[in-house]
Amino acid sequence: MLQPTVLLVDDEEDFIELLSDTLEDKYKILTANDAETALSILEQSNVSLVISDVMMSGINGFELCDTIKSDIGHSHIPVILLTARNAIQDKIEGLNNGADVYIEKPFNPEYLGAQVDSLLNNRKKIKEHFSKQPVTKLISVAQSTTDENFLNQLNTVIEYHINNPVLDVEFLSSKMAMSKSSLYRKIQSTLDLTPHELISLTRLKKAAELIAKRSYMMNEIAMMVGYSSGARFSKSFKQQFGISPSEYAQLDKHHL
């Protein structure tokens, strides 16, 4: 399995080296001496998490964090801000700009490592829960307001065209007004799924919703969510959720 990539942003070389030494055993490390370089790296690399100092020349850490969280391509990336400023107003500003964690200097390197591990592991668990639970909504994966808007729009497009057999990444990219490559990268980074996998999963979650209504036959539901074969629908449903559609239909309503 590929190591997650952590981007370190600080204008002090010695501090960058300290952070690299702390994290390089578990993560692939990229570094930037200023926010402008960091933003350029984000455009070119699949970064899992950003750690940035607040006090930097040019664009500071608060502004960098706000830019990341406001950009549709990067808004899913967790950000840890580091600062020697310990005023409560600074902490509030960091959180208001979308920081996931705000750590005061000096700090224990092991504490920073634990925060990185926790953020990435929690994101992974959220993604896995979304994929495996029939009733968990796409919006549950959102980590920022920008993500919420993107995922709501994406889910609306998929559900509106859910019975369209030609629903694919090219179709989605045209409806989302994004390039195919940008959409693919955003979905992959946010959900650990390809667009094709997300479309299939959304079909199956919609099917689970229809099954819970107990108003349709299984073959009807299969067609309503874009499956031409009831057998293929049943096999896909069981592979995804570990239970067949008919078994799912037998669950008590309180468990659907």
The per-residue pLDDT for range 207-245, each reduced to its tens digit, is 999 999 999 999 999 999 999 899 999 999 999 999 999
Give me the helix-helix angle, 145-160 and 169-176, nearest 10°: 120
For residue 245, the number of C-alpha atoms closer than 13 Å in the C-beta half-sphere is: 26
Residue-level pLDDT at 90: 67
H-helix or E-strand containing 117? helix 109-132
| Phi, psi dihedral angles at 103 (to 5 degrees) | -120, 130
CA–CA gap between residue 239 and residue 227 (Å, rounded): 15
What is the number of helices (H) and of strands (E) in the chain?
A: 12, 5
Three-class SS state of 122: helix
Mean pLDDT of 131-143: 93
pLDDT tens for each residue of 156-181: 999 999 988 789 999 999 999 999 99
The answer to whether 248 touches 208, Cβ cutoff 8 Å, is yes
Residue 82's SS3 state is: strand
Question: In CATH, which superfamily holds the domain spanning 135-255?
Answer: Homeodomain-like (1.10.10.60)
Give the whole-angstrom CA distance, residue 159 versus residue 169.
14
The model's pTM is 0.88
Confirm or reject CATH 3.40.50.150 for domain 5-128, answering yes or no. no
Domain pair 5-128 / 135-255, same fold: no
Domains of the chain, residue spans? 5-128, 135-255
Residues 6+ apart with CB under 8 A from 62: 54, 81, 93, 94, 97
In tens, the pLDDT along 31-41 reads 999 999 999 99
State yes or no: pLDDT of 103 exceeds 70.
yes
Beta carbons of 219 and 230 less than 8 angstroms apart: yes
Q: Region 189-195: what's the mean pLDDT?
A: 94
